[in-house]
């Protein structure tokens, strides 16, 4: 499953080099030349990962990273810092303020893609193509196939993304607003009861094999996927 990556970079040539390579790797790309634009885009929809240049006009990349880490909604958003400076203390500062990784310019596209993949695997497993299994359910993002025991399960695209997110984040309660952010990528324009509608459809699709029981309603909080 391709990830949505927000690239915050003020140098147009680097921005377009990154864009071309990310798109070629199958990712969806959002571009922001400064921190303010990046904040607006994040406000509308959460990306899966932010590639953030250290030195930006106006608010610096470091300050934006700090801000994202301080807000509940973006606290766990994966961030990779880009910088022209290769000094050890810069790297330490970047990791200290909560960046997940750090890439020094000039970098090869291959290196950048490898770093992105590693960070996504750690922090946003729903944005990778790894097969996930839970309680007898098996979901393969690459082929879009779900099996419940021996039987194949057919799901619509939203239910598929919802199940993928729940399976890659099991045993945790997810509120409706959080699911909208993570699965729909938009917390502003969709009503929270939309989540309930899709959970209902998902359960209906899993009912014949009994796997609907894996999705639990946590009264007053949201939903949890659990194999126990």
CB closer to Ca ion, 61 vs 78: 61
Instruction: Give counts: helices (H), strands (E), the chain.
Output: 8, 11
Report which residue's Cβ sits closest to Ca ion. 55
Q: Beta 28-32 vs 79-83: how paired, if at all?
A: unpaired
Interface with Ca ion, residue 55, by CB under 5 A: yes
Token pair for 183: 């699965």
Rounded to an integer, what distance in angstroms lies between the CA atom of residue 111 and that of residue 21?
A: 11
CB closer to Ca ion, 38 vs 148: 38
Least distance from Ca ion to the Cβ atom of residue 63, Å: 13
Least distance from Ca ion to the Cβ atom of residue 148, Å: 49
Rounded to an integer, what distance in angstroms lies between the CA atom of residue 146 and that of residue 201?
A: 15
Least distance from Ca ion to the Cβ atom of residue 56, Å: 6
Interface with Ca ion, residue 10, by CB under 5 A: yes
Segment near Ca ion (CB under 5 A); pick from 35-43, 46-54, 115-123, 126-134: 46-54
Rounded to an integer, what distance in angstroms lies between the CA atom of residue 45 and that of residue 193?
A: 18
56: nearest Cα among 34, 75, 87, 78: 34
Interface with Ca ion, residue 53, by CB under 5 A: yes
Kindly determine how many residues on this chain lie close enough to bind Ca ion according to the rule CB under 5 A: 3
Interface with Ca ion, residue 33, by CB under 5 A: no
| Residue numbers at the binding site for Ca ion (CB under 5 A) | 10, 53, 55
């Amino acid at each position: 499953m391709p990830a949505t990556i927000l690239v915050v970079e003020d140098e147009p040539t680097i921005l377009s080099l990154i864009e071309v390579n990310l798109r070629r790797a199958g990712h969806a790309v959002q571009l922001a030349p400064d921190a303010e634009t990046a904040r607006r885009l994040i406000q509308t929809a959460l990306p899966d990962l932010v590639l953030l240049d250290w030195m930006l006009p106006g608010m610096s990349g470091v300050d934006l990273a700090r801000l994202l880490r301080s807000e509940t909604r973006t606290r766990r958003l994966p961030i990779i810092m880009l910088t022209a400076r290769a000094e050890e203390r810069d790297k330490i500062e970047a990791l200290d303020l909560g960046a997940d990784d750090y890439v020094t310019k000039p970098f090869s596209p291959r290196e950048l893609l490898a770093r992105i993949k590693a960070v996504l695997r750690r922090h946003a497993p729903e944005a990778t193509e790894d097969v996930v299994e839970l309680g007898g359910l098996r979901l393969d993002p690459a082929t879009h196939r779900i099996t419940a025991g021996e039987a194949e399960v057919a799901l619509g695209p939203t239910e598929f993304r919802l199940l993928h997110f729940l399976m890659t984040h099991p045993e945790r309660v997810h509120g409706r607003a959080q699911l909208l952010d993570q699965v729909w990528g938009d917390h502003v324009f969709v009503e929270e009861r939309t989540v309930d509608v899709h959970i209902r459809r998902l359960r209906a699709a899993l009912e014949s094999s009994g796997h609907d029981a894996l999705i639990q309603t946590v009264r007053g909080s949201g939903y949890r996927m659990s194999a126990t």
